[in-house]
Amino acid sequence: MRVFTKMIMSIAVVWGLSLAAVAQTVVDVSADGDFQENLQEALILAEPGSTIQLPAGKFNLLTALSLDVPDITLRGAGMDATVLSFAGQVAGSEGLLVTSDGVWLEGFAVEDTPGDGIKAKGVDRISFKDIRVEWTNGPDATNGAYGLYPVESTNVLIDGALVKGASDAGIYVGQSQHIIVRNSRAEYNVAGIEIENSYFADVFNNVAMHNTGGILVFDLPNLPQMGGHSVRVFNNRSVNNDTANFAPEGNIVATVPKGTGLLIMANNNVEVFGNEFAENASANVLLAAYPREYNDDSYNPLPRGIYVYDNTYGRAGWDPDKDVKKLIAPATGLPIPDIVWDGAVDGFWSAFFGPDEGDRIVINEAEGTTFANLQFVKDLILPWGADPATDITDHAGKRPPLAKVRLAQESTKAESAE
């Protein structure tokens, strides 16, 4: 028995050392010779559990990079120290495509991709830490659509990122579940931060500034995952969003008015609190239905179960753009109220008596916060039309708070540190 126990202990020690060796494997990518070849070779040949270390410097790459090995850390010397430039890219569109689980990206920059900056598709446990994606020529319709672009993924972490110049969304998470976007900055994009067709997202401690629209929470039809819900937007600053919309014509974000602080469209159970909205020339907060025709019977185009409370509001609505100028300003006058709901509801009863309790728009803000329910559906029903309803107390109440999002990779890191 004693011999067997010693054997088991020996195997455990050897196995433990083996795991530790794998976990601590570091592959240094050389800056000598063909850097692109060196890097792509490291991405292909790295063993699961490895860290691929990028040197400081600016490196020009001609083709897209890809990573399909699981449990890899790709780390640079810092978002301003390690720069991967795709200004001369001739093959592929995105800078880096990740299709494997358990990937941690940290401390480097991706610049001037013709397409998306960094895309992750269909993965679990994808993390972007202190990553910069930028189009250095400033806002331009020829820039890539998305900066950070995780889609169809689970356990998504974006922390400490900086994204500038995306012609669609700077920080975008779509058709995904269990998401945290925090401590990041989005500037000079069409949409600064966008959560689309996703479930269980926490967006907090971010700054969205000088975009067309600061923060967007959307749900769109005809996609594999719809019915976006359970999104918390809190403790962010969405201010000075003053960049003219430069999205290519036809994109849904091409409809976003310049100077929008927060736009919630066709989403369910969204909690908005502790944010600062100011200096947004169209409106601080817009709650709206999907504005286009669609042929998807399973799609719900209405914002439902929205809970807005304890935010602060500065100047807004003095120079509205696009549909805010065409549809809202004639009804409310200037300045546009701090919070505007289009009043789109699901029929006659809701138009006159309000949505069911679970679908209500609930607002609890400080005295002096201005509001308008445009009553669009009621306006269509009544022969003489309906004026906007501006009594914010009609929407007073409380909703149960949404649960905090917890990610698998953060639990694993916390356990490793103990």
* Contact indicator for 71, 101 with CB cutoff of 8 Å: yes
Read off φ and ψ for residue 37, nearest 5 degrees: -65, -40
What is the tally of structural domains in the chain?
1
CATH number of the domain bearing residue 348? 2.160.20
pLDDT tens for each residue of the chain, 418 residues long: 343 333 333 333 333 333 333 446 999 999 999 999 999 999 999 999 999 999 999 999 999 999 999 999 999 999 999 999 999 999 988 999 999 999 999 999 999 999 999 999 999 999 999 999 999 999 999 999 999 999 999 999 999 999 999 999 999 999 999 999 999 999 999 999 999 999 999 999 999 999 999 999 999 999 999 999 999 999 999 999 999 999 998 899 999 999 999 999 999 999 999 999 999 999 999 999 999 999 999 999 999 999 999 999 999 999 999 999 999 999 999 999 999 999 988 887 887 888 899 999 999 999 999 999 999 888 888 889 899 999 999 999 999 999 999 999 997 655 554 4
Q: Taking the model in full, what pTM does it have?
A: 0.93
Q: What is the pLDDT of residue 348?
A: 77
Which residue segment(s) compose the domain that 107 sits in? 2-417
- Residue 224, both tokens: 């594999």
Q: What is the pLDDT of residue 380?
A: 85
* Contact indicator for 378, 386 with CB cutoff of 8 Å: yes
